[in-house]
């Protein structure tokens, strides 16, 4: 069976959350990796961004995701936080694009709704669902890592734009479509195997 692997990125200048999940059929997924890429607030901005870029490159190269989901930057009262988040988001988009990995953006409310069913869920509710859905003993820490895993799950479950080329190299399809096609192929293979016995 073809496994679809998705990297979720929760962009932040001090802590950039990363979460990687594999589809394992139905609405199930397996946590592959979760963590944060940190930058030192005492460093010059360009050095902080360089460090995050290097960290994202390493993650992309090590785990080779099929698609990337990034939290969409939205307006906040603290403009410096928005700027840092937007800069890191741009790095994630660029690093994925350079590797030909399709990317989709998801708003925080879309992520909450996809994971918990409510666009107003709080972090504890999201983490509780992650524990249950992924069969974990505890939610990934720090919270930025849990947020990134939730973004990855949102990409798996809802797609949200072009995220993968089809088998013929033609039009892009959503992550859900790729996942569904992989499921159909696996089911057909099982049926052929059963009919031969």
Is 71 catalytic? The answer is yes
- pLDDT (tens digit per residue) in 51-101: 999 999 999 999 999 999 999 987 666 777 889 999 999 999 999 999 999
Read off the pLDDT of each residue in 150-157 and give the average, rounded to a whole number.
95
Q: How confident is the model at residue 182 (pLDDT cuts 50, 70, 90)?
A: low
CB atoms within 10 A of CB 50: 14
Which residue among 22, 66, 95, 144 is the active-site one? 144
* pLDDT at 152 (0 to 100): 97
Query: From its phi and psi, is residue 5 left (phi > 0), alpha (psi between -120 and 50) or beta?
Result: beta
Which residue among 66, 71, 95, 110 is the active-site one? 71
Q: Would you list the DSSP string of 14-31?
A: SEEEEEEEEE-STT-EEE
Tell me whether residue 61 is annotated as binding: no
Q: Is the pLDDT of residue 167 over 50?
A: no
Read off the pLDDT of each residue in 150-178 and give the average, rounded to a whole number.
59
* DSSP-based three-state secondary structure for 44: coil
Q: How confident is the model at residue 45 (pLDDT cuts 50, 70, 90)?
A: very high
Q: Is the pLDDT of residue 43 over 70?
A: yes
- pLDDT (tens digit per residue) in 126-141: 999 999 999 999 999 9
- pLDDT (tens digit per residue) in 17-26: 999 999 987 7
Q: How confident is the model at residue 110 (pLDDT cuts 50, 70, 90)?
A: very high
Q: How confident is the model at residue 166 (pLDDT cuts 50, 70, 90)?
A: very low
Tell me whether residue 71 is annotated as binding: yes
Angle of CA points 36, 42, 43, to nearest 5°: 80
- Write down the mean pLDDT value for the chain: 85
* pLDDT at 75 (0 to 100): 65
Tell me whether residue 10 is annotated as binding: yes
Domains of the chain and CATH, by start: 5-196 (3.30.420.10)
The DSSP bridge pattern shows strands 5-10 and 15-23 to be antiparallel
């Amino acid at each position: 069976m073809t496994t679809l692997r998705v990297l979720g990125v929760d962009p932040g200048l001090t802590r950039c959350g990363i979460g990687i999940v594999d589809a394992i059929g139905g609405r199930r997924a397996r946590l592959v990796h979760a963590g944060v890429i940190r930058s030192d607030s005492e460093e010059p901005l360009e050095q902080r961004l360089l460090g995050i870029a290097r960290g994202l490159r390493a993650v992309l190269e090590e785990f080779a995701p099929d698609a990337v989901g990034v939290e969409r930057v939205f307006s906040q009262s603290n403009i410096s936080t928005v700027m840092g988040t937007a800069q890191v988001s741009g790095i994630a988009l660029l690093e994925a694009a350079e590797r030909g990995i399709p990317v989709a953006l998801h708003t925080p409310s879309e992520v909450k709704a996809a994971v918990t069913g409510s666009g107003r869920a709080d972090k504890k509710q999201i983490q509780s669902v992650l524990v249950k859905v992924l069969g974990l003993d505890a939610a990934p820490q720090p919270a930025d890592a849990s947020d990134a895993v939730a973004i990855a799950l949102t990409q798996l479950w809802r797609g949200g734009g072009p995220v993968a080329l089809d088998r013929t190299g033609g039009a892009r399809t959503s992550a859900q479509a790729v996942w569904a096609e992989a499921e159909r192929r696996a089911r057909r293979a099982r049926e052929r195997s059963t009919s031969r016995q």
